[in-house]
């Protein structure tokens, strides 16, 4: 199953290495990982999208991440109401005829063209995974030259429908 996990960490050298290292060592498959500092520059937020086999493996992962000395908090957001976004830059081949077609295609995605040359345009799109996948599929027939994706970053919504019981397992 696919899980979205965030780790709040001290912004110390090597901290990203520690987390990816332990995930490699314990055979967890990272789909994407994003890092950036929070409002406090000494604290960073890491968002990890990961494939795990079952609940037991997930529990292990959360506990192992939590065990790192530089990790302050670990949260599995998957079951929560959340906002999750990634940004993609897509370079598409164009001809004078297709350029306006492409404009129409990307409009409902609220994507924008941020670079234009004679043979191609670069499109910026932000959204959840499905949205990014969808726009890529629509643009594919025109010939995609290059894609660069940031990976997912996420946050629980301000209001949760039910009281979310954070899977505490046996941390306490």
Partner 1 sequence: MKASWVAEEEKSKVLKMSGADMLMEALEKEGVDVLFGYPGGAVLPIYDALYKRNIKHILTRHEQGAIHAAQGFARVAGKPGVVIATSGPGATNLVTGIADAMIDSLPLVIFTGQVATSVIGTDAFQEADIVGITMPITKHNYQVRKVEELPRIIKEAFHLAQTGRPGPVLVDIPKDISTSIGSYKPSNEVDLPGYQPTTIPNLLQVKRLADAIAQAKKPVILAGAGVLFAKAEEEILALAEQHRIPVTNTLLGLGSFPSEHPLFLGMAGMHGTYAANTALHECDLLIGIGARFDDRLTGNLAHFAQKATVAHIDIDPAEIGKNVETLIPIVGCAKHTAAALLRESTTSGDTEEWVCQLAELKNSYPLWYKNEGDVLKPQRLLEIIHEETKGEAIVTTDVGQHQMWTAQYYGFSKPNRWVTSGGLGTMGFGFPAAIGAKIGKPELPVVAVTGDAGFQMTLQELSVLQEMKLPVVIVIVNNQSLGMVRQWQEIFYEERYSESLLPVQPDFVKLAAAYGIEAASVTTEEEARAKFAEALDSKGPFLLDCRVASDENVYPMIAPGKGIHQMIGVKP
Find the part of the chain contacting partner 1 (CB under 8 A) among 21-29, 79-87, 99-107, 125-133: 21-29
- Which residue, 24 or 112, has its beta carbon nearer to partner 1? 24
**DSSP H or E segment with residue 133:** helix 129-139
Q: Taking CB under 8 A as the rule, does residue 50 contact partner 1?
A: no
**Which residues lie closer than 8 Å to 11 by C-beta, 6 or more apart?**
37, 41, 42, 43, 44
User: Mask of contacts with partner 1, 55-84, x by CB under 8 A?
Assistant: -x--xx--xx-xxxxxxx------------
> To the nearest whole angstrom, how small is the minimum distance from the Cβ of residue 59 to partner 1?
6
Q: How far apart are CA 85 and CA 129, in angstroms?
A: 7
Q: Please list the helix, strand and coil fractions of the chain in percent, rounded to the nearest 5, in that order.
A: 30, 40, 30
Q: How far is the CB of 48 from partner 1 (least distance, A)?
A: 17
Interface with partner 1 includes 30 (CB under 8 A)? no
**What is the rounded distance in angstroms from the CA atom of residue 44 to the CA atom of residue 24?**
21
Q: Of 75, 49, 72, whose CA–CA distance to 62 is shortest?
A: 75
Q: Rule CB under 8 A: is residue 118 a binding residue for partner 1?
A: no
Residue 116 or 171: which CB sits closer to partner 1?
171
Provide the binding-site residues for partner 1, judged by CB under 8 A.
Answer: 9-10, 13-14, 17-18, 21-22, 25, 56, 59-60, 63-64, 66-72, 169-172
């Amino acid at each position: 199953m696919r899980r979205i996990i965030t780790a709040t960490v001290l912004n110390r050298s090597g901290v990203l290495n520690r987390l990816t290292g332990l995930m490699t060592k314990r055979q967890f498959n990272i789909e994407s990982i994003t890092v950036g500092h929070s409002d406090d520059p000494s604290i960073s937020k890491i968002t990890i999208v990961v494939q795990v086999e079952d609940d037991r493996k997930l529990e292990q992962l959360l506990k192992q991440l939590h065990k790192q000395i530089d990790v302050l908090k670990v949260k599995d957001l998957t079951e929560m109401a959340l906002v999750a976004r990634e940004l993609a830059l897509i370079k598409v081949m164009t001809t004078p005829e297709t350029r306006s077609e492409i404009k129409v295609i990307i409009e409902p995605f609220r994507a924008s063209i941020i670079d234009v040359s004679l043979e191609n345009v670069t499109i910026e799109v932000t959204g959840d995974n499905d949205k990014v996948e969808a726009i890529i599929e629509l643009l594919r027939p025109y010939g995609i030259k290059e894609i660069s994706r940031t990976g997912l970053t996420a946050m629980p919504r301000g209001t949760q429908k039910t009281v979310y019981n954070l899977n505490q397992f046996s941390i306490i």
